[in-house]
Amino acid sequence: MAANLQVGDEIFSSACLHEPAAATEIYIRKPSLRGADIYNAKISYAALPKPDRRSELFVRVQVVEGHSGIEAIHLPCAAIRDYFFAANRRAPWQSQTSVYYPDVALRLRPSGRGYKATICGLVSVPG
C-alpha cells in the first residue's frame, strides 16, 4: 500500500502503528484524486452479483471487525475478474490470453492418493 501514498493523502487506521498486521483496517483518502481512495480491510461474506443503475454487475462484500464505520464494500465484477483471472493485470481484458486450450485434452490417471494429468495431444471435433 505504501507505493500508492502521495504527499497530501490522509491515512486512517484502526490499529496501533507499532503493532502492524495484515488484517489491519486502513483507509487512505486521496483528496487530489476523486474516487481513488484505498481501503484495506478484512472481509467475509460476498453476496451474489447484482446490476447497478448503469446495468453493470457488482458484488456487495461485508467488512468484518471494521472500526471506520464502513460496513460493506461494493466491488465491480469487472475489477474482481481483472484481479483474479487476468494473466497480465496491466493489459485490458480484451487483449488477455485465454486460459482455455480447446484443442488439448488432459488424461487423468489414478496415482497414489490423487491423479496424474498427462496431455493427450490435439483433439479433433467433427464439425
pLDDT tens digit sequence for 70-85: 888 888 888 888 777 7
Average pLDDT, the chain: 75
List, in order, residues 6 or more apart from 40 with CB less than 8 Å away: 1, 24, 25, 26, 27
pLDDT digits (tens, 9 = 90+) for 43-57: 888 889 999 899 999
Classify residue 107 as exposed, middle or buried by CB count within 10 Å of its CB (0-12, 13-18, 19+): exposed
Total-model pTM:
0.54
The pLDDT-based confidence of 26 (bands split at 50, 70, 90) is confident
Closest by Cα among 18, 68, 20, 60 to 43? 60
Greater confidence, 117 or 51? Answer: 51
104, amino acid identity: V
- Integer-rounded Cα Rg, in Å, for the chain is 21
The pLDDT-based confidence of 58 (bands split at 50, 70, 90) is very high
Q: Is the pLDDT of residue 29 over 60?
A: yes
Q: How far is CA 21 from CA 13, 14, 38, 67, 98, in A?
A: 11, 11, 17, 15, 36
